[in-house]
Amino acid sequence: MQNNLLILISLLIILSNIFLLGSSRTGAMIRGIAFQGVLLSLLPLFLPSESVRILDIIILAVLSIAIKGVIIPHYLRKVTRNIRTKKELHPYLGYSVSVIFGLLVSYGSFYFIGKLPFMYLSISPFNTSAAFASMIIGMFIIATRRNIIAQIIGYLVFENAGFILGISIASSQPLFIEIGILLDLLAGIVIMVVAVNHIHLYFDNVNTDSLERLNK
């Protein structure tokens, strides 16, 4: 049963990745990343109880739901409202191509993760493969999107992958390190949001192509 739930969560994470790859609106992307954040936060609850303290698990789950599911999406929504990026910016690669890419990467990581030696560490090999797929998809989003909000979301997907991997090797690493990483992430996002506001102030848009040229 526990294993089934883990598989379900991993699949939903993969589907939300594909959703992020296929959606053009920042509002929809923010919803997607919030959903993914909440899903991830449930993962610590499945850790084998003999290896970590139950209190640690609960604190981690609650904190990450708050940060990934509520606070960061809230900030992102606020910044999009401020800058009103209404225009869809066309990505360097089309949405359909991105979605096919996501599908192939997800399936590829399912396939290869079974052959890697460290899979015995994880709570489920499925989670590890979802994490690998997320990592690649996160980088892909950062690389192919012009909209700065979409790039931040790509960064978050990447970070989420790290979170899953961290949980996977939790038995050999204290959980408070995870908590520390979470807080770092929050600080990072706040700085990015401030930066986006400034970029918008200077360039009047958030197309990162404008950043190629130095602004006096």
Partner 1 sequence: MIINIIISTAAALVFSPLLIGIINKTKAFFSGRRGSPFFQMYFDLYRLLKKDAVRSGTTTIVFILAPVIVFCCTLAAAVLIPISPGTGIISFTGDFVLLFYLLGLARFFLIISALDTGSSFEGMGASREAFFSAMAEPVVFISILTILRLNGTTSFTDALGGGGAGNWIIISLATVPFFIVMLAENARIPFDDPNTHLELTMIHEVMILDNSGRGLALMEWAASIKLWLFSLIIVRIILPGSVLSFLLTFVIAVIIGIVESVIARTTLLKIPQLLFSAGIIAFLGFFLSFSKIFVWS
Partner 2 sequence: MKESSLIIKYNKSNPTSKVPLLGEDVFRKKVLEMTRGGGRVNSFFSAENDNEDLVLYLIISYDARGETHALSMKVENKAFKSLTNEDTQFHLFEREIYEQSGIRPLGHPWLKPVRFPGGNAGEMDFFKIEGREIHEVAVGPIHAGIIEPGHFRFQCHGETVYHLETSHGYQHRGIEKKLTGGPYRDTVYKMGVIAGDSTVAHSTAYAQIMEAFTRTAIPARAQAVRAIALELERCANHIGDIGALSGDIGYLSTSAYCGRIRGDFLNMSALLCGNRFSRGLVLPGGVGADIDDDIREQLAARLEAGKKDFLSAASLLWETPSVLARFDSTGIISAESAERIKMVGPAARACGIERDVRRDHPSGYYHLSYIPVSTSEMGDVSSRAYVRWLEVQESIKFIEKLLAELPVGDSGRETGTNLKPDSITVSLIEGWRGELCHTALTDGTGRFRRYKIVDPSFHNWLGLALAMRGGQISDFPVCNKSFNLSYCGFDL
> Which positions touch partner 2 (CB under 8 A)?
23-25, 27-28, 31, 86-88
Beta-carbon-side half-sphere exposure of residue 109 (alpha carbons within 13 Å): 23
CA dist 79 → 19, 58, 85 (Å):
22, 30, 10
User: In angstroms, rounded to a whole number, what is the distance separating the alpha carbons of residues 141 and 148?
Assistant: 11
- Residue 113 binds: one of partner 1, partner 2, none (C-beta under 5 to 8 A by kind): partner 1
- Residue 28 binds: one of partner 1, partner 2, none (C-beta under 5 to 8 A by kind): partner 2
- What is the residue type of 20? L
- Residue 8 binds: one of partner 1, partner 2, none (C-beta under 5 to 8 A by kind): partner 1
Q: How far is the CB of 103 from partner 1 (least distance, A)?
A: 5
Contact footprint for partner 1 (CB under 8 A): 3-4, 7-8, 11, 14-15, 18, 22, 95-96, 99-100, 103, 106-107, 110-111, 113-114, 125-126, 129
Cβ neighbour number for residue 71 with a 10 Å cutoff? 15
User: In angstroms, rounded to a whole number, what is the distance separating the alpha carbons of residues 154 and 146?
Assistant: 11
Q: How far is CA 60 from the centre of its chain?
A: 17
Q: Are 41 and 10 in contact (CB under 8 A)?
A: no
- Residue 14 binds: one of partner 2, partner 1, none (C-beta under 5 to 8 A by kind): partner 1
- Measured from the CB atom, is 88 or 184 closer to partner 2? 88
- Measured from the CB atom, is 24 or 210 closer to partner 2? 24
